[in-house]
Amino acid sequence: MKLSATLYSVVFLATLSFSSTAAAYNGAEIQSPTTDYFKPLKSYRVTWRAKPARGNCTITLFSLFNSQELFGANSSQTKWSEIAFETFGGSAASSSLKSYQTQYITATGLGPERGKQHIKEHTNQATGFNIFKKGWHNFTIEWYNVEAKNAYLVYKIDGQEVRRDYSKDIAKLSSKMNIHSGVWVSKLDHPWACTTTAARETSQAELRWIKIDRKVGNRWKKEEKFVAPVLQRQWPASQWGFKAFDGQYTPDNIKASNIRLIMQLTP
């Protein structure tokens, strides 16, 4: 059973005690309409062709996340899983500040609770290039041997490996994942996301396409590719918020322009 956007919002906000009176910004997020992309024991590669948003406290998200399982009718028996890139827009002008993080989260128990996190922070300096410059970049998650004991993850940017992880917790990640992308802004006193003392500002992230590949033998085979107009027409836009978000996602901030899907962050 899947929740409607309105009911989903109510459940999520109630769970995290979010107060709409504190909202200052509207962000934007899309998610795939199904969780049936990933089959157990198979290997997959998901790539987001994107321009992450700039601006202090601004986060652009590229993730696999079973949100419907967590906040659905059977949330007391769910298994929360997330695999993600999260970029920090305040580092756009500096190569020494953290520019993004890779992470995956596995549930530690039943119900909608924060899971066991495996976070690694990265800087533009260490990566060797600035992800906020030189146009479009490919953010790629390779998920090998889904739900198997020997499952592992590889994160890449523009084909360059930035992290490889073989933790036993990876086998706990659920195969039932939506594909997400979005932009949001944290509260000013949130040190995790705010990397400078600059004021927050209106910004936007851009998506050109999202592609899913499956490993067949020693080669990757394209399963599906979603270009910007398809993402706008067929992928649901989110309308909810959470505790660290100084605002909430709104469908009005999803715009399509030629080959780009624009995800706006507005006051």
Q: What is the pLDDT of residue 27?
A: 97
CATH of the domain at 163: 2.60.120.200
pLDDT in tens, 205-262: 999 999 999 999 999 999 999 999 999 999 999 998 888 899 999 999 999 988 999 9
Q: What is the pLDDT of residue 75?
A: 54
Q: What is the pLDDT of residue 169?
A: 92
25: which strand partners?
A: 247
| Strands, E assignment, the chain | 25-31, 44-51, 58-65, 81-88, 98-106, 116-123, 137-144, 152-157, 160-165, 178-185, 203-216, 219-227, 247-249, 254-257, 260-265
Q: Reduce the DSSP state of residue 79 to 3 states and report it.
A: coil
Tell me the residue range of the domain where 216 lies: 5-265
Residues of the chain with pLDDT under 70: 1-23, 68-79, 95, 108-114, 126
Q: What is the pLDDT of residue 82?
A: 94
Q: What is the pLDDT of residue 14?
A: 27
pLDDT in tens, 162-178: 999 999 999 999 999 99
CA-based radius of gyration for the chain:
17
Distance CA 105, CA 180 (A): 15
Distance CA 187, CA 167 (A): 32
Q: How does the average pLDDT of the chain come out, rounded?
A: 84
Structural domains in the chain (count): 1
Cβ within 8 Å of residue 76, ≥6 positions away: 110, 111
Running DSSP on this structure, what letter comes out for residue 250? -
